[in-house]
Chain A
Amino acid sequence: EADIYQTPRYLVIGTGKKITLECSQTMGHDKMYWYQQDPGMELHLIHYSYGVNSTEKGDLSSESTVSRIRTEHFPLTLESARPSHTSQYLCASSVGGVQETQYFGPGTRLLVL
């Protein structure tokens, strides 16, 4: 069982607010990822990190930003939330290497009014 945590699990917030979604893992994994997923739909990679101080944008353009100051922590920030940001945000991590297996957190469901 993967030890990867996301908070909050649910967030309802007004337009224009700044939000930070937290993701932490206790497995010592180097690689961490953020995906955006609309209900029942496929996952879209928006950010990833291969280690401390390393961040890259994913395949789906996103107005969010990420940071990786510590191995275990990979927060995602939206400076000014909009209704179009309403979605589920999933964090994942993997140990890395040639063949990797990603483990997911429980997700944060964001609703921007």
Chain B
Amino acid sequence: GQQLNQSPQSMFIQEGEDVSMNCTSSSIFNTWLWYKQEPGEGPVLLIALYKAGELTSNGRLTAQFGITRKDSFLNISASIPSDVGIYFCAGQLIQGAQKLVFGQGTRLTINP
């Protein structure tokens, strides 16, 4: 099946540092979504991107829809302890059934 390559798989950072993660694929997507999941909970939508080149912010979070439609990144500025969790990207393929394809997740750990 279609795959998204999400990196890094895990990050260990100090509080206050900026974070950057990305997803890439050989396939073309018409939607990119970024979710955060905390233990025992469902993923919570952070940012939705619908147009190539689109750059969208949500507080300290910024995400971009790659111009080639094959990638997306998420940045978190000035990390705080409550940013801890697993971040997933998800893309909707431009062709075929309109299901989402999920990345493998980036586990973020923050040292206070």
Contact = CB atoms under 8 A, between A and B. Distances in A.
A3 interface: no
B99 A104 contact: no
Contacts of A39: 39
A58 B43 CA distance: 19
Interface residues of B, number: 26
Contacts of A103: 45
Interface string A17-38: 0000000000000000100000
Interface residues of A, number: 27
A43 B107 contact: no
B41 A42 contact: no
Contact of B43 (A40, A98, A104, A109): A104
A83 B107 CA distance: 27
B76 interface: no
A101 B102 contact: no
A102 interface: yes
Given A40-B107, A42-B105, A90 B42 contact: yes
B103 interface: yes
Contacts of B110: none
B42 A40 contact: no
Given A40-B107, A43-B88, A99-B30, A106 B42 contact: yes
Q: Closest 7 CB pairs between A and B?
A: A104-B42, A107-B42, A99-B31, A43-B102, A42-B104, A104-B43, A106-B42
